A and B are shown apart, each in its own frame.
Chain A
């Protein structure tokens, strides 16, 4: 067991982990942040996406020990300071961009990373960027709309 220290959602934390412990396991286990999900074991579903030092990372592709000293943001850190939904989260709710919610944390984290690099992505750019995030419920239609809306582009509200 080794000790790993990092900042998660702005707070300094430490956890005891094995060398083989994945970052996602450390987040969900000792750090108690179960918002980040595990949907596969081949690093393809994107349910586990978090930000590490500002970059979107699949938390199942990285050992916890590799996050030593890193700045990690998870879905639990995405709401506004007053607890209300952040812009992307709110757009997902407004546009029905989630159903069962299991892929949602990863989708929101990927969307946030996309909008940082590309503040006004086209539909095609959004679809291309989400290649590493699988959603089985929504058919992506409303996820695309939510991300466009979150980027300030004109989108009709769901079902109007």
Chain B
């Protein structure tokens, strides 16, 4: 029987009502009296020296307030980077300055050169057209492998070259890995590209900067996943505004997926210009601007080698990756191909030796940073593709090859520096085989054949590291931030609660799920609890929402603060009922004294806290408000298994997803409805990467996928209904909720599943295609089919795998 409130229930989302009636309040809905508008004149070439900027004609145009150029920002800081990597040789990474407006050179299409502030947006745009730029074009640095060669054109003249860092992990294992690969019975090698993507939240970025002459206070309204981080980065490092004079508000935010984590130049500009112009300044990104100014994602070029012994046990993994940083270092860019990627290269498997080499490279492209999954999709894609290829080379069932190498004992310390606390990879694989109806595949393949279509089946397992994570550890790894989360729980006299969280909700439904946790702890209805988030003025310093961390870290902070509330409330209850606080129990919103029939309602105690007439004033302060900062002692490790069936049209190469199933282990689940929605969205983005999406540059550095005409977003008819399951639950052992995080799983596990399925379809049809780079567009698939060697049409002995589900699935929390 499903619960109807508290943990494990799926109450309808309370935020939906305002979103469904047009009453949401997104940043672009905010207009401040007297505001002016800014339009950025951006570079339309990839790389050039700025030889001259003539604004004389534009200055006098109607409505123009002021035109800013890079020279206006010489006295302020650059946009900072929040993570410093130390390379294989003990050197710190190269870190170029990222000016608010380009100065001296432009380094990517979209780099802002001038900012025109005017009374209306139309006037700002008109004036920008009258600015005359003299740009001396330079050769564009686009290809990463070319970029690191001697004599290559430099993106930053003051750096030694275009190599940001050359990272080796674990460096001490390098020789042993080389040796293991040399002596292996079989080595499977795969070269692949993890295609550059654009996160594309449907709400473009917006910033409104405001400065109060009377007080000297600044306010920035911005589309951010972490307003406190923006306040710290922009205040301390760019503009020199103390945090107590700066308020950052991220109201309703229309999706983030990572790209709204970072501190962007436009935010700093609007805040700075509000004081300079003595007027609030607003910027709303157009979608075209978003394509060339939002941080992009992925863009890795990798070679992976998997070594196996004669019994098909994995003995070593070696990878070499070129990771594109773009023209500047975005906030968390250096961490993505390193600590969020290298540490995941063990996957779900007992591979004893792993070595990961990553060369991060500057190019004349938009900066690349975290996008849903961030590093973990890149790791999973390589590993799950190479395992599939190995299974085919060895003629073994890809599910069995995985199972044979699964980690089965926990905690498990990987050779890449992390310790998995819990998991049951056989259980999710068993569940997957059931819900994907693997047994029925052959019949469906036959039916497809009858219609002239090629059907294929793909499967994979995944592990991810979420809930980022212990501050002292990430500090050692180069993070320039802590990664705790905060919560303040304020109980009102009449018993209702306000929970002020440092997490941010931009679609995840925190306003609904967080109260479920508190309601369960106290035994009161969810609707007595209100969540406040997104405003530095009324929430404690928090690190925000990314890396599937909100519930695991932010929710845990709420639990800790609520525990403090309950402990204090029990003392008040004990005083009133003249009992020992050890004997007080709180259940269903009532305090009772063990072994007696005395009871006191929740509301009586909360009232006593604020009307302390009968109260232990000598021992305790009145009031009922507590804050907790929760710093986890490990990452969480969600895992699972995904399967997909595709049909390939042999005439056109078009791939359609016919069936898609996901069996995830997220540990405990607070709101199953929201969790399933997160998985659905992740799958859509993963399928998008596999089949449709590609951020493309030409050799001159021109961005040729800069609108929805050219960047193929997944639409409703590109996707099937999904079968998702989260009943395999191995709770996290180190956070109080036992939760692991669910936001990124779909985006991590889906791409290899789809590519594995397409390769399977082609192999079954007698085409020896072992890999196609994403996106698997009709043209690429068709070309692969035409160029392929014939095979015997042998299926991988995949579908219909054995393996018993007996006793392994752990259904729910009982």
Contact = CB atoms under 8 A, between A and B. Distances in A.
Interface of A: 18, 20, 28, 33-42, 44-45, 47, 74-76, 78-79, 85, 89, 92-94, 96, 98-105, 108, 123-124, 126-128, 130-131, 133-144, 158-160
Given A41-B288, A42-B707, A93-B16, A99 B508 contact: yes
Contacts of A131: 715-717
B2 interface: yes
A100 B253 contact: yes
Contacts of A124: 717
A108 B20 CA distance: 8
Contacts, number: 186
Contacts of A105: 22
B716 A133 contact: yes
8 contacts: A40-B287, A45-B202, A45-B287, A96-B673, A101-B18, A127-B719, A136-B684, A138-B677
A98 B20 contact: yes
B437 interface: no
B contact residues, range: 35 or more
A95 B676 CA distance: 11
Contacts of A128: 716-717
Closest 3 CB pairs of A and B: A35-B22, A101-B19, A102-B254
A133 B20 CA distance: 16
B19 A104 contact: yes
B508 A134 contact: no
Contacts of B17: 85, 93
Contacts of B507: 99-101, 137
Contacts of A45: 202, 287, 708
Contact of A96 (B204, B255, B677, B713): B677
A36 B19 CA distance: 11
A158 B22 contact: no
Interface of B: 2, 10, 12-13, 15-26, 28-29, 122, 200-204, 252-255, 257, 286-288, 506-509, 671-677, 680-685, 707-709, 713-717, 719, 721-722, 746
Given A79-B21, A134-B715, A140 B684 contact: yes
Contacts of A133: 716
B13 A96 contact: yes
Contacts of A20: 122
A159 B10 contact: yes
Given A75-B21, A96-B674, A131-B715, A102 B680 contact: no
Contacts of B203: 37, 39, 100, 102
B287 A41 contact: yes
A149 B204 CA distance: 31
Contact of A42 (B23, B287, B674): B287
A34 B203 CA distance: 13
B16 A158 contact: no
Nearest to A134: B713
A99 B707 CA distance: 23
A51 to B, nearest CB: 13
A102 to B, nearest CB: 3
Contacts of A79: 21
A98 B288 CA distance: 25
Q: In the complex, which of the residues B22, B203, B719 has the most CB atoms of chain A within 10 Å of its own CB atom?
A: B22
A94 B677 CA distance: 12
A39 B287 contact: yes
Contacts of B24: 35, 101
A102 B253 CA distance: 8
A39 B255 CA distance: 12
Contacts of A39: 202-204, 287
Contacts of A130: 715-717
Contacts of A38: 28, 204
Given A93-B16, A138-B677, A44 B719 contact: no
B21 A138 contact: no
Nearest to B23: A35
Nearest to A43: B708
Contacts of B201: 100, 102, 136
Contacts of B506: 100
A99 B681 contact: yes
Contact of A78 (B15, B21, B683, B707): B21
A40 B707 contact: yes
A99 B255 CA distance: 8
Given A20-B122, A45-B202, A79-B21, A136 B257 contact: yes
A133 B683 CA distance: 18
Given A98-B16, A100-B506, A101-B19, 10 more contacts: A79-B21, A85-B21, A98-B20, A100-B252, A128-B716, A131-B716, A137-B681, A139-B680, A142-B677, A159-B675
A139 B287 contact: no
A109 to B, nearest CB: 10
Given A42-B707, A42-B708, A144-B721, A89 B21 contact: yes
A160 B673 CA distance: 8
